Amino acid sequence: MFRNYWSCSKFADWVRGTNQPDALSGKGWQKWNKMAKAAHPFRFWVAGTALDTLQEIVYWPWNSINSIRYYFNNRWVSQSHAMVAYPKHVRRGQWCDITGRMLPCMFDTLQDFVEIECAVMHVACDKKAAEKYHRPFWHRGLFRFSTWRCPAAGLDYLNWASKLVFDENWGISPGNKLYGKLTPQAQGAIEILFLYKWWTETYANRVDPMDASGWSAYCDKEREKNDGDLLAALDISSNAAERKESRQLGKILKKLEAEQEKEDTEMMCRLVKVRHNLWT
C-alpha cells in the first residue's frame, strides 16, 4: 500500500489522455474505466497496470521494511488480532469469565476505533488538522511504533462522515431519488457516534444497581449493627420488619439489574449490526 499511487497522479492523467475523477460511485467508475480504456487502450494500460507494477518494483525494499514494522505494530502495539478490554474494566492478571468480558472488550475496542483509527484518518491527509491536534512526530513514518490517541480528532472525523450525502461527487444528479440522502457511510458514522457516547458517557456514569436500589446502604447499616459481621447482618429470619425491607430492596435491585442488562444487550446487538462500518 502506498500513500500516493503513481497511477492516480497528474502524470498518469497525461499518459492516459483522460483525467481521472476524484470520486465516483461504483457504476460511475465502471463507466469511466470503460470510456477511458476505449479512448486510448494502450495508454490506459500504461497509466494503470504498468505504473502500478513499476512502483511496486521501485518501492520493494521500503515495502519489505514496512511489512516487518507493521507486523511488530499489529502484534504488540495495536494487537489487531484481539479485542482487549481496558485495565479499568478488566484488571490484568485477574480472572474474568467470558460473560463479563464480552461487553467491555467489544466497546473498549469501539472506543479504540474512534479515538485511534478515526483520529488518524482525520489528520492523515490534512496538515492543518495534524497541527491542530498536535499529532506527534513519533507517530509518523518509521517512528510509528506506538499508538496515538485523540478523542477530539476521532469525533470530528465521525461528525464529518455523518453528513456525507449522495450528490454529484457520487455521480448522482439532482433529479435522482437518492440525491441529498445520507450515504451508508454517513448512516454508519451516526450509529457509531451514538454507541461511542453511550459507552463513554451513559455507561461510564451509571450508578451501581446495588447503590441505586438502596441495597448497599441497607447492608452497611445491618453490618454496623452487627459489629461488621456480614453473615449475622444478613440473618433476618427473626425480624419481620427487616425481612419486609430486604424483600422490597431486593425487588428494586433486580429490576434495575434487569433494565441495565437489557440495555447492555441492545447496545451490543447494535454494535454487531454496525460492524461493517468499523474500518478505516
Do 277 and 189 form a contact (C-beta atoms < 8 A)?
yes
Q: pLDDT of 182-193, one tens digit each?
A: 999 999 999 999
The domain boundary, picked from 38, 58, 78, lies at 58
Using the 8-state DSSP alphabet, how is residue 238 labeled?
T
Q: Are residues 254 and 184 in the same domain?
A: no
Q: Are residues 180 and 266 in the same domain?
A: no
Q: Are residues 18 and 135 in the same domain?
A: no
The predicted model gives 42-54 an average pLDDT of 94
Average pLDDT value over all residues in the chain: 88
Q: Tell me how far the alpha carbon of residue 159 is from its chain's centroid.
A: 13
Q: Are residues 185 and 239 in the same domain?
A: no
The domain boundary, picked from 181, 204, 227, lies at 204
Q: Is residue 74 part of a domain?
A: yes
Percent of the chain with pLDDT over 70: 91
Q: Is residue 276 part of a domain?
A: no
Place of cell 449522495: 166
Q: Are residues 221 and 190 in the same domain?
A: no
**Cβ burial, residue 92 (10 Å; 0-12/13-18/19+):** exposed
Instruction: Catalogue the long-range contacts made by 139-142 (C-beta closer than 8 Å, 24 or more residues apart).
Output: 142/69
Q: Is residue 277 part of a domain?
A: no
Q: Are residues 97 and 163 in the same domain?
A: yes
Distance CA 144, CA 73 (A): 8
Q: Are residues 80 and 215 in the same domain?
A: no
Dmax (CA) of the chain = 95
Q: Is residue 279 part of a domain?
A: no
Three cell numbers written together for 221: 447499616
The domain boundary, picked from 39, 58, 77, lies at 58
Do 189 and 161 form a contact (C-beta atoms < 8 A)?
yes
Do 157 and 115 form a contact (C-beta atoms < 8 A)?
no
Residue 27 scores a pLDDT above 90 = no
DSSP secondary structure letters along 166-229: -SGGGT--TTSTTTTSBPHHHHHHHHHHHHHHIIIIIITTPPPHHHHTTHHHHHHHHHHHTTT-
User: Residue 40 is part of which domain span?
Assistant: 1-58
pTM: 0.78
Q: Is residue 150 part of a domain?
A: yes
Residue 25 has φ and ψ, to the nearest 5°, of -75, 175
Q: Is residue 22 part of a domain?
A: yes
- Give the contacts of 144 (CB within 8 A, at least 6 positions apart): 69, 73, 138
Q: Are residues 81 and 153 in the same domain?
A: yes
Q: How many domains does the chain have?
A: 3
Q: Are residues 63 and 173 in the same domain?
A: yes
- Positive or negative torsion for Cα 190, 118, 163, 175: negative
> What is the pLDDT at residue 167?
92
Please state the three-class secondary structure of 37-96 as a single string: HHHCHHHHHHHHHHHHHHHHHHCHHHHHHHHHHHHHHHHHHCCCCCCCCCCCCCCCCCCC
Do 119 and 151 form a contact (C-beta atoms < 8 A)?
yes
Q: Is residue 278 part of a domain?
A: no
250-268 burial: b if 16+ Cβ within 10 Å, else e: eeebeebeeebeeeeeebe
Q: Is residue 155 part of a domain?
A: yes
Using the 8-state DSSP alphabet, how is residue 116 labeled?
I
Q: Are residues 166 and 252 in the same domain?
A: no
Q: Are residues 183 and 241 in the same domain?
A: no
Q: In angstroms, how far is the first alpha carbon of the chain from the final one?
A: 14
Q: Are residues 194 and 97 in the same domain?
A: yes
Residue 67 scores a pLDDT above 70 = yes
Of 18-32, 54-68, 125-139, the poorest mean pLDDT is in 125-139
Q: pLDDT of 77-133, one tens digit each?
A: 778 888 999 999 999 899 999 999 999 999 999 999 999 999 999 988 777 887 888
